[in-house]
Chains A and B, each alone.
Chain A
Amino acid sequence: DQQVKQNSPSLSVQEGRISILNCDYTNSMFDYFLWYKKYPAEGPTFLISISSIKDKNEDGRFTVFLNKSAKHLSLHIVPSQPGDSAVYFCAASITGNQFYFGTGTSLTVIP
């Protein structure tokens, strides 16, 4: 069973607009959530994270929102840039041991 789900395989956004990537999870024991970005033929790179005790974390153009009651998190990228085009994975963890990844969303930012 997939404990972390990304239901949108792909997303296209115009340059300068907002990109919103969504992620749902089923296990209420998850206490840490992360977003990774992945380019083809490379390993994922860490983008931003949030602890379950918070509902928002911001880092420059990237903001992650966590809605624990809905078991939902989202990544907002504002403004979107062509270099943001990549596959984005959300991940969840219990106490930083095992990590569970979603299936990824491929973001294309159109110039």
Chain B
Amino acid sequence: NAGVTQTPKFQVLKTGQSMTLQCAQDMNHNSMYWYRQDPGMGLRLIYYSASEGTTDKGEVPNGYNVSRLNKREFSLRLESAAPSQTSVYFCASSERQGATHEQYFGPGTRLTVT
């Protein structure tokens, strides 16, 4: 099992360019999440999907869109990148029916917007 995979690992964009971050999980989890991590800010939730076909905003959704393509895949799109979106992006999944609510994280995508 690969767990949670993210592509790409690194990306450099110019201001105004668009891109999609891909995430897939092979654990048959219902819930998937996108976070960003910035220095001194911890991880902040951008969007989450509690189940296939549903998505909800988190703490910092502005400038992002998401698609829950199927149970396995949850993508994050930046339509017009801004330098403030320079960050490390983590995708996670969890089985909310479980006792611990633990989330499994991918290795992250390091995005730089110039």
Contacts and interface: CB of A to CB of B under 8 A. Distances in A.
Contacts of B1: none
Interface in B70-114: 90, 92, 94, 96, 100-108
Interface string A34-64: 1010000111111001000000000000000
Interface in B22-39: 31, 33, 35
B33 to A, nearest CB: 7
Contacts of B102: 34, 46, 49
Which of the four size classes fits the interface of chain A? 20 to 34
A44 B94 contact: no
For the complex, would chain B's binding face be called helix, strand, loop or mixed by DSSP majority? strand
B4 interface: yes
Most A CB within 10 A of own CB, among B4, B31, B43, B90: B43
A46 B104 contact: yes
A25 to B, nearest CB: 13
Contact of B48 (A2, A32, A98): A98
A93 interface: yes
Contacts of A45: 105
B42 A34 contact: no
Interface of A: 2, 4, 6, 32, 34, 36, 41-46, 49, 89, 91, 93, 96-104
